[in-house]
Structure 1
Amino acid sequence: MQLPAVVTQAREFWQRLRTPQKLTIIGAVLAAVSIIAAIVASTSSQPMAVLFSDLDPKDAGTIVEKLKEQAVPYELADGGATIRVPESRVYELRLALAREGLPSSSTVGYEIFDRTNLGMSDFVQKLNHKRALEGELQKTIASFDEVQKVRVMIVLPEKALFEQEQKKPTASVLLHLKSGRSLSKLNIEGIQNLVASSVEGLSPADVTIVDQHGQILSQVPRETSTLAGLTATQYEQQQKVESYLTSRVQSLLDGVLGPGNSVVRVSAELDFTQREQTRENYDPDGQVIRSEERIAEARRSQDSLDYPAVNSESNATKVRTNYEISRTVERIVGGVGTIKRISASVLVNGTTKVVDHDGKKVIQYTPRSQEELQKLTQIVRNAIGYDPERNDQVSVVNLPFDTTVLDQPEEEPTFSLPRGNLVLGIAALLAVLAALWALRRLVLSPPLRRRIEEILVPNAVLHLAPDGPAVPALEPAAEAAPVAQLEEHRELSPYDELRQRVRAKLDSAAASGLSEEDLLIEEMKDRIRRFIHENNADAIKLIQSMINQEH
């Protein structure tokens, strides 16, 4: 078939349609085209990646203008602070924009001194040094995984003539944390010490850290020399010991009883008293000579009263020996934070099983035996390092747990689709329904229905009696023959049977105002529907042949 003929037939077919049918077909076609275009666009679009994020409005506007000049597709997010471009061109565009100094509001560090100015004043020099120091600290703190953006401000006072008049430097840090992230106490103290160690004369206590919500995160570092600082440190040490012992006992019970069948609480009393003891031990049997002194004296005397004189001589020797007893000196310094007493309380659930009670499934609770409780008590004692000399206490009690919330049936997870795919699916379904409705209106239009009946009825009748004799065409006189004459024939054709049943209904349908032709049409429609339902392939061929004859 040539193209002009096809166009002519299509024009004639379009002109035969009524206005509602034309509007329906146009709407269905437009909806289908729109859905197909949206699906193709969503599947063929290039993946986008972040070019820059957390931009100032000024830098974002400048970068967008540059992208428009280069005809680069882009997307804006986060209120214009984030710019996305095709993933394949991210690095190329970053290098190109960096050559033009974009973004210009990036953090400046010590690179500020790469270009020196001989005419720079001392005030500008100090200001640049402060900016460089703040920028380097911002870069360092921004490397934390939890930190999205950071701002550091340092106050450096002028040098005073007298030391007692010298003011201390201070610093403040503003942190923008990522969504759902937080910093631990150790991280906060680390930032405080990092900033304090980078600025001369700055103490960690003078560094204030605030998050984007205005909450103060920093705390004054504890000094163990003060009573308050020592008490806080002792309390943390006690919590660590209790948590450690609790986790040891809980892990053992979970392995024996199963998770959720035991609750453990451990209370530890620590002794933070610092004792220093000096002990001396003497061994009386271990005498040793410490020192020995010997004195020898020789004397000579002469009595002058006698004559001749009488001479006398005397010699004396003295020995002094000092003995030292063996002595041992011990200097003992007691440990700080030793365990003074431990108390452990353990709640144990019984066993449960599902039994059949009067045709219903019920949960039966069985308490644990005394032998099991004794074994569990011994396990807990070994886990905490039980010492009877410290007057430690361990209590294991069997009580039924409240599991009413756990016994409730869980809701079945619902299947969910991404919002974009859901919208496309709904739109595609609506387009298909609109097309089917338009086709139905077209097929069921009065001219087309009459044409289908003219073509399908003879074929349907022949199909209903394939093995019978050929059905002759009825003459007008035969059609008007009474029912009594039709019954005289031995073999009635299916078409005659159809007319016979229709005539039999005329009497009952006379009251409703239906004519013979109307009843005959309704019966033929019923036969056509059954024929189409039972012989889809033949019906399709008949419709195609009818359409070809129409054109």
Structure 2
Amino acid sequence: MALVNPDNIAGQFVGMSNLPIVRQLGLLIGLAASIALGVGIYSWAKEPNYVPLFDGMSGADAAQVVTILEQGNTPYRMQGSMVAVPAGKVHNLRLQLASQGLPKSSSPGYELLDQEQSFGTSSFVEKARFNRALEGELARSISTLNSVKGARVHLAIPKKSAFLRNQQGASASVLISLLPGRKLNQSQIAGVIHLVASSVSGMDSGQVTVVDQQGNLLTGNGSSSAMAMGSEHFTFASSIEESYSQRIVDLLVPIMGAGRVRAQVTADVDFTAIERTSETFGPNNTMLRSEQTSEERSSDNSKAFGGAPGAQSNQPAAAAATPGADTAASSNTSATTQTTKQTTRNFELDKVISHIKEAPGTIKKLSIAVLLDYRQETNEAGEVTRVAIPDEEIERLTQLVKEAVGFNEERGDSVNVMNASFLEPELMEPLPEIPIWQEPWVLDIAKQTAGGIGILLLVFGILRPVMKNLAGIGKQSGGRAVNGELQLGADQVTLGGAPQLPAGVTSYDQQVQLAQTIAGQSPKRAASVMSEWVQDGG
């Protein structure tokens, strides 16, 4: 049934005019409040859920985004640097704004080179534009790191000189804005340094400075290569320790049970690089390689004349008493012969040249600590008790651990296996699942359903009965005006109630005639009255 019947509009106005002025005002205020309430419920039910469109935009980007949203009559909300739009339009709006290049990055990159240049652009301006584009691209690349919120890069590239001695190297400064609670490790800092240095021709990694938003110098005093090497050494030692710890756990878990073994290994690793070159000669090798012999003989057959002047030399020689005297005497009578013999022998030498290079990463010492939990046993009463492991079994497990890690007593390795009672972990209650009525889509449906039900109750529970009652009063007033007998006073009408008998109607015939007239004008009301009489036994 329609809320307002066109045929009853006149009757409704007549019925309302017959009410007292106070009731008319109350009725008008009630109708206005009902309509306002209905409009409010409808607006509340149809109000969309707002989700962020973009967050962290600059002021210029936010102004351009808001202008486009206003031009498209799109509702939005501003919360600082965040623009929120209805959830159903967020994806389309992002695509629309992306097609227009919004939001623009705070550090423009190579798109600067796509802009049209005037005919009179100087080479200095072109170079400055290229440097700015390179800075923007580097900032974008650094900003992609997980812990980095944003970055700015400043390049100092000197002008090239024709003389090599006057050429200066390029340098760079990097300002990194980190996310709350995040930090960069030395490996990541070294990666940023090499990323910037490799992107600029002629730039050394030592000329790159990295600073965070708090002003802390992240590059340190040493070179980036030294920091990277230290980080590699730490990573290598950690991998060795983790490998040994995992060996021990994998070996003891089948015996002790899962979660009842803890192992920690500390490795003293020597990263010293040693190179040795030695040359050794063997003394016992007598192999002849070459031999050269030379012999020289000389002789003189002429007699020897002369001697010491005097009487002795003119006398005959006496018999020789000694070999020396005999040789001296014969030297004056026989020929002189001289022989020279020289031999040169070359032997093979036992020569050994050794070049030994010891790679860094030698384990100097291992310190191993193993913690075992008490065992759980069931006693005769059926109770589960925790019992310590016997010392004999601890010794066997210690030997097993030594074999697993390659224990070397000469280098000072140590193994300590201890048995202790582990604390039972507290059982954490699982996080409660989100009830279905708290899901966003359920809330949206419930919101719209509640709004619809509220409007229906307002229309069919308040407005429709009031308008129907006014229409009935108008019809009764019209009928009395036509017959001249059924005029009802305004004070005899109540909102939503049946009309009272007019004054002066006392006889039975008059009451019957009035009842017939009312039944003819409003058959449904007459039927309702008859039904009530029957139910009341009257």
> TM-score, normalised to structure 2's length?
0.60
Note if contact 1:249-1:383 (Cα within 8 Å) is conserved in structure 2: yes
Structure 2 residue 353 is the aligned partner of structure 1 residue 329: yes
Matched residue, 2:206: 205
Structure 2 residue 369 is the aligned partner of structure 1 residue 345: yes
Specify the code of the residue in structure 2 equivalent to 1:294.
T
Offset of 1:195 from its aligned partner? 1.1
Offset of 1:146 from its aligned partner? 4.7
Secondary structure of the structure 2 residue equivalent to 1:410 = coil
Among the aligned pairs, what percent are the same residue? 25
Residues 389 and 121 of structure 1, relative CA distance in 2, 3 Å threshold: same
Note if contact 2:52-2:82 (Cα within 8 Å) is conserved in structure 1: no
Residues 434 and 19 of structure 1, relative CA distance in 2, 3 Å threshold: farther
Residues 39 and 276 of structure 1, relative CA distance in 2, 3 Å threshold: same
* 1:80-479 map, 5 Å: 80-82=81-83, 85-88=89-92, 90-95=94-99, 97-98=100-101, 103=104, 107-109=108-110, 111-112=112-113, 115-121=116-122, 123-156=124-157, 169-177=170-178, 183-212=184-213, 214-222=215-223, 238-254=237-253, 256-272=255-271, 275-277=274-276, 283=282, 286-303=285-302, 318-352=342-376, 364-370=385-391, 372-403=393-424, 406-407=425-426, 410=429, 413=432, 415=434, 417-418=438-439
Deviation per residue, 1:123-170 (Å, 9 max, x gap):
534432431321232233344455443221223456799999987644
Secondary structure of the structure 2 residue equivalent to 1:389 = coil
Residues 384 and 437 of structure 1, relative CA distance in 2, 3 Å threshold: farther
Structure 2 residue 87 is the aligned partner of structure 1 residue 63: no
Residues 372 and 176 of structure 1, relative CA distance in 2, 3 Å threshold: same
Residues 363 and 163 of structure 1, relative CA distance in 2, 3 Å threshold: farther
Secondary structure of the structure 2 residue equivalent to 1:390 = coil
- Report 1 or 2 for greater relative contact order, CA contacts < 8 Å, sequence distance ≥ 6: 2
Offset of 1:339 from its aligned partner? 1.2
Gaps of 5+ in 2: 306-332, 463-526, 533-538
Secondary structure of the structure 1 residue equivalent to 2:195 = helix
Residues 421 and 178 of structure 1, relative CA distance in 2, 3 Å threshold: farther
Note if contact 1:171-1:207 (Cα within 8 Å) is conserved in structure 2: yes
Offset of 1:231 from its aligned partner? 7.9
Quote the Cα distance in structure 1 between the aligned partners of 2:442 and 2:27: 31
Residues 338 and 81 of structure 1, relative CA distance in 2, 3 Å threshold: same
Residues 230 and 155 of structure 1, relative CA distance in 2, 3 Å threshold: closer
Of stretches 326-335 and 73-82 in structure 1, the one that deviates more from structure 2 is 73-82
Deviation per residue, 1:485-528 (Å, 9 max, x gap):
xxxxxxxxxxxxxxxxxxxxxxxxxxxxxxxxxxxxxxxxxxxx
Deviation per residue, 1:214-255 (Å, 9 max, x gap):
554444454788xx9988876665445334433443454456
Offset of 1:187 from its aligned partner? 2.2
Residues 82 and 356 of structure 1, relative CA distance in 2, 3 Å threshold: farther
Residues 324 and 167 of structure 1, relative CA distance in 2, 3 Å threshold: closer
Residues 401 and 388 of structure 1, relative CA distance in 2, 3 Å threshold: same
Paired residues, number = 430
Residues 257 and 18 of structure 1, relative CA distance in 2, 3 Å threshold: farther
Gaps of 5+ in 1: 442-544
Specify the code of the residue in structure 1 equivalent to 2:388.
P
Residues 106 and 256 of structure 1, relative CA distance in 2, 3 Å threshold: same
Secondary structure of the structure 2 residue equivalent to 1:287 = coil
> TM-score, normalised to structure 1's length?
0.58
Offset of 1:65 from its aligned partner? 2.0
Specify the code of the residue in structure 2 equivalent to 1:195.
V
Secondary structure of the structure 2 residue equivalent to 1:58 = helix
Note if contact 1:174-1:212 (Cα within 8 Å) is conserved in structure 2: yes
Offset of 1:210 from its aligned partner? 3.4
Note if contact 2:158-2:169 (Cα within 8 Å) is conserved in structure 1: yes
Secondary structure of the structure 1 residue equivalent to 2:410 = helix
Q: Between Structure 1 and Structure 2, whose CA radius of gyration is higher?
A: 2
Offset of 1:173 from its aligned partner? 1.9
Quote the Cα distance in structure 1 between the aligned partners of 2:131 and 2:213: 23
Matched residue, 1:527: none
Specify the code of the residue in structure 2 equivalent to 1:55.
M
Note if contact 1:288-1:326 (Cα within 8 Å) is conserved in structure 2: no
Note if contact 1:147-1:176 (Cα within 8 Å) is conserved in structure 2: yes
Residues 423 and 282 of structure 1, relative CA distance in 2, 3 Å threshold: same
Quote the Cα distance in structure 2 between the aligned partners of 1:180 and 1:546: 77
Quote the Cα distance in structure 2 between the aligned partners of 1:330 and 1:155: 50
Secondary structure of the structure 2 residue equivalent to 1:191 = helix
Residues 211 and 40 of structure 1, relative CA distance in 2, 3 Å threshold: same
Secondary structure of the structure 2 residue equivalent to 1:294 = strand
Deviation per residue, 1:350-384 (Å, 9 max, x gap):
13478898xxx986322224454345324422332
Residues 212 and 276 of structure 1, relative CA distance in 2, 3 Å threshold: closer
Secondary structure of the structure 2 residue equivalent to 1:327 = strand
Offset of 1:89 from its aligned partner? 5.6
Residues 58 and 340 of structure 1, relative CA distance in 2, 3 Å threshold: closer
Secondary structure of the structure 1 residue equivalent to 2:68 = helix
Quote the Cα distance in structure 2 between the aligned partners of 1:209 and 1:108: 20
